[in-house]
Amino acid sequence: MSSDMTRREFLRTSTAVAAGIGIALLPGRTWAKSLLAAASEPAKEGLPFRVLGRTGVKVSILGLGGDGLVSDSTDKDAVVKFLTSVLDSGINYIDSAYVYGKEGRCEKNLGLVMGTPRRKNVFLATKTGARTYDTAMRQIETSLKRLQVDSLDLIQVHHVKEEDDIKQFGSAQGMLTAMRKLQDQKVVRFVGLTGHPDSENVKNALEMYDWDTCMCFVNPAKFSRPALEDQLPVARKKNMGVIAMKTFGGRPGLLVGKEKGQADAATLLRYALGQDVSVVIPGMATAAQLEENLKTARNFKPLSAEESSALAEQINSGAKGWKR
């Protein structure tokens, strides 16, 4: 988006794109018919909710991460069927990013459903890797078009790194200034950041600016300790909503299995949900993974101190360092 584009022009463009896609694709498409049928179906009960920090919004404790089926699949029927199951389950938090999937496939796949009435039941989050005002505006405009929406619930600064000059985030030409402008224009509701545990700049950025949310690593592996011990406490002290990522150690589920340094997915998910977080967002590649995670979330009981200690020992007896 150019810096002088008005909100009215911006929304008119985005809405026209969404409407155009609907007219072009709906007739005769199996996945489109299923969307219309599902739009009025109530969500199932039983999934606990928590408040997403200072946003005041209630979100399901289990969300959908952008990595997995929605970032990889080119089968529209499969994508819509999966996303319909996600929403019918009661999950209302969906995560994405500008860079997820080939040529933005994750956001485009989500747009198959977000461009329908089911959008109103979703807390929709995406991320921009931009560090400048103009680039952030362009990327966010592209994300809105892909997602077929005219507003976002949450936009996040993606992957704050050690080499970032975080003092420039809030400068006149910084991406945070663009995000605040979009907030003023009601295009974006909330602003957050994401980061890995290997950068001290994540904690520094959390302390320097007022964010609504923080996304950080939450698992028992040693490589996640800086996130749990340094980043998460700062976020909670400032009443940010905390979004737990890399619950299973990152793609392709580094910590899940029966080998040394691994554990079952349900125990790892219980560990993450037992931390001071609002929502956990594992990526899911199959309907079976969705159902397994839903079962754990619906029946959630935190690990005891003994169970947590045993899990940490089990994981760290052989866990490898995480690599992007």
With H, G, I as helix, E, B as strand and everything else as coil, classify residue 243: strand
Give one DSSP letter per residue of 57-124, joined into a string: -EEESB-B-SSBHHHH---HHHHHHHHHHHHHTT--EEE--TTSSGGGHHHHHHHHHHTSGGGGG-EE
Residue 318 banded pLDDT, cuts 50, 70, 90:
confident
Q: What is the pLDDT of residue 4?
A: 47
Q: Mean pLDDT in the chain?
A: 89
- Topology of the domain comprising 49-298: TIM Barrel (3.20.20)
Q: What is the pLDDT of residue 98?
A: 98
Single-letter residue type at 27: P
Q: What is the pLDDT of residue 320?
A: 63
Q: What is the pLDDT of residue 31?
A: 36
- In the structure encoding, which two tokens stand for residue 196, read together? 């890995």
Say what angle helices 7-25 and 133-147 make with each other, to 10 degrees. 30
59 pLDDT more than 60: yes
213-231 per-position pLDDT tens digit: 999 999 999 999 999 999 9
Q: What is the DSSP letter of 297?
A: H
Q: What is the pLDDT of residue 322?
A: 54
62-95 per-position pLDDT tens digit: 999 999 999 999 999 999 999 999 999 999 999 9
> How many other C-beta atoms are found inside a 10 Å radius of the C-beta of residue 44?
13
Does residue 168 contact residue 124 with C-beta atoms inside 8 Å? no
Residue 252 banded pLDDT, cuts 50, 70, 90:
confident
278 pLDDT more than 90: yes
CA dist 148 → 74, 137, 154, 217, 226 (Å): 17, 16, 15, 29, 37
Q: Could you tell me which residues come within 8 angstroms of residue 90 by beta carbon, excluding any fewer than 6 positions away? A: 43, 44, 45, 46, 47, 60
**Which pTM does this prediction carry?**
0.88
23 pLDDT more than 50: no
53 pLDDT more than 60: yes
User: Minimum mean pLDDT among 107-111, 181-185, 317-321: which range?
Assistant: 317-321
Q: What is the pLDDT of residue 164?
A: 98
Say what angle helices 287-298 and 265-273 make with each other, to 10 degrees. 50
Q: So where are the chain's domains?
A: 49-298
Residue 323 banded pLDDT, cuts 50, 70, 90:
low
The residue assigned the tokens 């009435």 is: 117
114-127 per-position pLDDT tens digit: 999 999 999 999 99
